């Protein structure tokens, strides 16, 4: 069981005691990401994540920060998405105080030295180069660029090289002041802990956090009246594609049915698309379907890597499976298999303390409420065959279809002709 408390300054604390583990994870989630940026500072959320590790008064440089947890075999990192940023440390539970001190130190006492920022810009640009050289990953950003265009939801989380190069220290500090505030932060500790004493420790280490009203993000604008495509020319050994549709956001009551539908289509090795595209047609090594639900948008998409000559065949097979779910109800056995997979997968994914922290803190940050695994299972069990067919009819429409491709192609007209359902 978990416990959530909110301090008078707005800071939320979540504690999750776990039995059968010696580990403990400290996770700090901040309600900001690239959707909160302007064009001028696109990439600042991710860049700020980097510079938190460049030195504090107590730990004056990167070496001192890193070796603090390296000396005890701790695991630590940070991450940035479009709607949140996270910082975490996982250690032997006897080092909980050290982990809390370490995380709070970088977040509350970083120096943000000009020379360190300039050096880190080169690191981020190399990270960007690595990412752009990985089509299997980069296709995801092209997909969201296709869906959302020139607005924060369609920009790269990491930013553009020119923007990163121009970022000023004053912009960093201004962004920090507006977003890294008590009401916008959750401190979650999961693992081998005692709830009450852990709460007291969190209050101690985070007592100097800023009190200010956090800035909000602009609402995503979605406009689409016909099928869309986006091609990124690159001489690759295979074509990487994303083919899918606009769907439901995080608060939509049908998001659980969408999750079941996604599993039926391409969520595992016995799913429809894995069998039809990989096992029967032999067109792809990897193919899977996933769903994304954010606070104001959502989509369902199938990703695959295929030979350049087989793109048309793969697209047609994917669309065939999409269409079949509109025209015919799934049988009870297939429906139950998808439900059982989702529930079993969730149970397995929550074995570790870091997974527990992300599960509970993520819900609180984005949705403002927390469902336990048992409560989520109930939502999944309530999904019906009729709902699966209903949402298939709603989302698998021509005007919601989108296709993003990375490969040696320059003319998108042949691909757009395929987008019929």
pLDDT tens, N- to C-terminus, the chain (421 residues): 899 999 999 999 999 999 999 999 999 999 999 999 999 999 999 999 999 999 999 999 999 999 999 999 999 999 999 999 999 999 999 999 999 999 999 999 999 999 999 999 999 999 999 999 999 999 999 999 999 999 999 999 999 999 999 999 999 999 999 999 999 999 999 999 997 899 999 999 998 899 999 999 999 999 999 999 999 999 999 999 999 999 999 999 999 999 999 999 999 999 999 999 999 999 999 999 999 999 999 999 999 999 999 999 999 999 999 999 999 999 999 999 999 999 999 999 999 999 999 999 999 999 999 999 999 999 999 999 999 999 999 999 999 999 999 999 999 999 999 999 9
> pTM, whole model, 2 decimals?
0.95
288: its two tokens: 């899977």
Structural domain boundaries enclosing 182: 3-205
Report the alpha-carbon distance of residue 334 to residue 234 in Å, rounded. Answer: 39
Alpha-carbon distances of 396 from 129, 137, 204, 302, 402, rounded to whole Å: 35, 25, 52, 13, 11
Interval 130-166: pLDDT, tens: 999 999 999 999 999 999 999 999 999 999 999 999 9
Q: What would the two tokens of residue 143 be?
A: 């997909």
Are 262 and 150 found together in one domain?
no
- Alpha-carbon 292 to chain mean position: 8
What pLDDT is recorded for position 374? 98
* CA 9 to chain CA centroid, nearest Å: 28
Q: Give residue 1's pLDDT.
A: 86
Sign, Cα dihedral of 28, 31, 35, 38: negative
- 309 and 255, same domain (yes or no): yes
32 contacts 80 by C-beta, under 8 angstroms:
no
Query: Looking at the domain assignment, is residue 115 inside a domain?
Result: yes
As annotated, the active-site residues are 49
Number of domains in the chain: 2
What percentage of the chain's residues is helix, strand, coil (to nearest 5)?
50, 20, 30
Q: What residues contact residue 213 under an 8 Å CB cut-off, 6+ apart?
A: 181, 183
The rounded distance, in Å, linking the Cα atoms of 147 and 299 is: 9
Q: Does 107 share its domain with 174?
A: yes
**144 and 236 part of one domain:** no
88 Cβ contact list (under 8 Å, min separation 6): 25, 26, 27, 28, 76, 77, 78, 103, 354, 357
Q: Does one domain contain both 244 and 347?
A: yes
Question: pLDDT tens-digit profile of 178-202?
Answer: 999 999 999 999 999 997 899 999 9
- The pLDDT assigned to 346 comes to 98
In-domain check, residue 218: no
In terms of domains, do 51 and 168 share one? yes
Among candidates 264, 269, 274, which has minimal Cα distance to 326? 264
179 and 266 in a single domain? The answer is no
351, 308: one domain: yes
Q: In whole angstroms, how far apart are CA 112 and each of 1, 7, 184?
A: 38, 28, 21
Tell me whether residue 211 is in a domain: no
Q: Closest by alpha carbon to 71, among 103, 93, 95, 87? A: 95
In a domain, 329, yes or no: yes
């Amino acid at each position: 069981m978990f416990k959530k408390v909110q301090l008078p300054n707005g800071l939320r604390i979540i504690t999750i005691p776990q039995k059968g583990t010696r580990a403990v994870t400290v996770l700090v989630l901040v309600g900001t990401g690239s959707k909160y940026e302007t064009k001028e500072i696109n990439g600042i959320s991710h860049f700020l994540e980097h510079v938190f590790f460049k030195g504090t008064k107590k730990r004056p440089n990167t070496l001192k920060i890193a070796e603090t947890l390296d000396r005890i075999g701790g695991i630590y990192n940070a991450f940035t998405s479009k709607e949140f940023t996270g910082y975490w440390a996982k250690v032997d539970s006897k080092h909980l105080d050290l982990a809390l001190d370490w995380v709070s130190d970088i977040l509350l006492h970083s120096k943000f030295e000009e020379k360190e920022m300039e050096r880190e810009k080169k690191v981020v640009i190399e990270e960007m180069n690595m990412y752009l050289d990985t089509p299997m990953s980069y296709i995801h950003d092209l997909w969201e660029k296709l869906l959302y265009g020139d607005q924060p939801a369609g920009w790269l989380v990491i930013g553009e090289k020119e923007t990163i190069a121009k970022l000023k220290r004053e912009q960093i500090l201004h962004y920090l002041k507006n977003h890294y505030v008590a009401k916008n932060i959750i401190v979650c500790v999961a693992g081998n802990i005692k709830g009450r004493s852990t709460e007291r420790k969190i209050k101690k280490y985070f007592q100097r956090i800023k009190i200010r009203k956090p800035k909000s993000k602009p609402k995503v604008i979605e406009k689409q009246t016909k099928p869309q495509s986006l091609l990124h020319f690159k001489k690759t050994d295979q074509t990487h594609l994303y083919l899918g549709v606009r769907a439901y956001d995080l608060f939509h009551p049908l998001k659980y049915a969408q999750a079941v539908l996604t599993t039926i289509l391409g969520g595992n090795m016995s799913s429809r698309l894995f069998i039809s595209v990989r096992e029967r047609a032999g067109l792809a090594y990897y193919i899977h379907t996933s769903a994304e639900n954010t606070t104001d948008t959502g989509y369902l998409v199938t990703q695959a890597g295929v030979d350049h000559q087989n793109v048309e065949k793969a697209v047609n097979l994917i669309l065939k499976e999409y269409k079949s779910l509109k025209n015919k109800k799934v049988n009870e056995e297939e429906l139950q298999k998808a439900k059982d997979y989702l529930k079993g997968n969730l149970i397995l994914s929550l074995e570790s303390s870091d997974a527990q922290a992300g599960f509970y803190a993520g819900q609180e940050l984005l949705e403002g409420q927390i469902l336990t695994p048992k409560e989520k299972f109930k939502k999944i069990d309530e999904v019906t065959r009729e709902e699966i067919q209903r949402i298939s009819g709603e989302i698998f429409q021509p005007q919601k279809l989108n296709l993003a491709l990375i490969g040696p192609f320059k003319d998108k007209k042949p691909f757009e002709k395929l987008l019929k359902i």
